[in-house]
Structure 1
Amino acid sequence: MSRYCSECGKSRKACICPWIESLSSNVELVILQHTSEQHRPMGTARILSLSLSSCRCWVGEDFSQHTALNALLREPDVDHYLLYPAPNSVSIETLSSTQFTGRRQRVILLDGTWKKAYKMWQLATNLHSIPSIHLPEHLQGEYRIRKAPNENSLSTVEAGYHLLSLLEPQRNFSPLLTPFRKMIDFQIAHMPDGVYQNNYLKQ
């Protein structure tokens, strides 16, 4: 028997599958995951792809010639957006007040560190013509065991949760955060004494 769960990819003792809940969403998500994130034990993109049937995840760095992605981008009657704070990005709150009439909505997320996400965006010239959107700046992440550049840095699953909650306020996407929180609690519980307090708690 493998030491790792075939579904969530985490070690069996850290498996988060019991807390994964199938959710439906009218907004489709496409996650472009940097290769360095694929096997990270604390990665969160997998939570989105396991929970949402309308979510796709592809791994790479340069997606400019990605056949499947480019096929999606050519689909008619689909509004595409890139969740990325490009200089010309607009707040997602602007979109959430828009009435969608008969067109599908698809949002592309970049899964990687800020530096690697920037490189992915630079290389993926096929995404440069897609409207860029960003989340409200007041949101704060719960990734308590990750060093982040600022307090409102969000994990990929948190970004997906806030994105969907703003675009589809009539639906409850809070179950996306349950396996995320359980994962963090498990890691903290298995840290040597004092590591979490000394390295992650604010003084």
Structure 2
Amino acid sequence: MSHAVSRLRDERLARSTKPFVARGSRAPRCAGCRVIDSYCLCAWKPKVDAASAVCLLMYDTEPLKPTNTGWLIADVIEDTQAFGWSRTDVDPQLLASLADPQWQPYIVFPGEFVVPERVVTEVKVEPGKRPLFILLDATWTEARKMFRKSPYLNHLPVLSLEPEQISRYRLRRSRRDDHFCTAEVAALCLELADDQVAAGVLDAYLDVFSAHYLGAKYQRPVNPDDASHTHLKAFL
């Protein structure tokens, strides 16, 4: 069954004037997990309940990249929304979701770049509402642009994460150790919202994805009995 990110990917491909060619894309990839077929991890896709929801604002070609980890969030968290970002053309469904009274939205962004009165570091949900974490799925430079040029987010509280751990994501390089991939950010948000099981499962699933992706890239075996695979077995 498709999810929000896979549907957004299909929509983005339909608008493309030329094929999107990812690095290392000569070998056939599984349509379900975007990993080379012989390293497919679809059998490791977990099922877990979460009280929280995630809204991904994705920059242009992000849905097309096989290394994009927003896809993993949508695999794990059933209530995941995904919208392409545009400075001038805002999806009405996104605006409707932000106004939906069932959600308590937080835009996730570093507090050092925001006026202090908007910044929060804890998730406090009103009765009858569920947290909705809005994640800017992009490079750091792109995310800053998105934050500045999305006035419809200006009324929302900014959840500033202060994680102590260093990023474990190994598929794209960042010059800063405190820059996290989108799935890591989502797991930290889930943890703050007391969705501890979902946070742990998403972390393990990210590790499994990284192991399979890098295994395919470097043609090395994957250990199905390592800690991350073992963690997921209870949620298959």
TM-score by length of 2: 0.71
Counterpart CA distance in 2 for 1:153 and 1:9 is 23
Indicate conservation of the 8 Å contact 2:67/2:171, yes or no: no
Number of residue equivalences: 189
Q: CA deviation at 1:99?
A: 5.8
Contact 1:14 1:183 in 2 (8 A): no
Contact kept in structure 1, 2:35 and 2:213, CA below 8 Å: no
Q: 1:64–1:126: 8 Å Cα contact kept in structure 2? A: no
Among candidates 98, 116, 119, match of residue 90 of structure 1: 119
Percent identity over the alignment is 21
Where do residues 1-203 of structure 1 align in structure 2 (5 Å cutoff)? 3-62=28-87, 65-85=90-110, 86-88=113-115, 90-92=119-121, 94-95=122-123, 98=124, 100-169=126-195, 171-191=197-217
Shift of 1:141: 0.9
How far apart in 1 are the matches of 2:101 and 2:213? 44
Deviation at 1:21, TM superposition (A): 0.7
Q: Distance in 1 between matches of 2:73 and 2:51?
A: 14
TM-aligned CA deviation for residue 172 of structure 1: 4.5
TM-score after normalising by structure 1: 0.81
Runs of 4+ more than 6 Å apart? none
Distance 1:35 1:142, change over 3 A: same
Tell whether the 8 Å contact from 2:107 to 2:158 is kept in structure 1 after alignment.
yes
Q: Residue 53 and residue 186 in structure 1: after superposition, are their counterparts in 2 closer, same or farther (change >3 A)?
A: closer
> Separation in 2 of the partners of 1:102 and 1:52?
20
Structure 2 unaligned blocks of 5 or more: 1-26, 220-236
Task: Please say if residues 16 and 179 of structure 1, whose CA atoms lie closer than 8 Å, have aligned partners that are also in contact.
Answer: no
CA deviation after TM superposition for structure 1 residue 91, in Å? 4.4
Distance change >3 Å, CA 191–CA 171, structure 1 → 2:
closer
After TM superposition, the structure 1 stretch with the greater mean CA deviation from structure 2, 134-143 or 66-75, is: 134-143
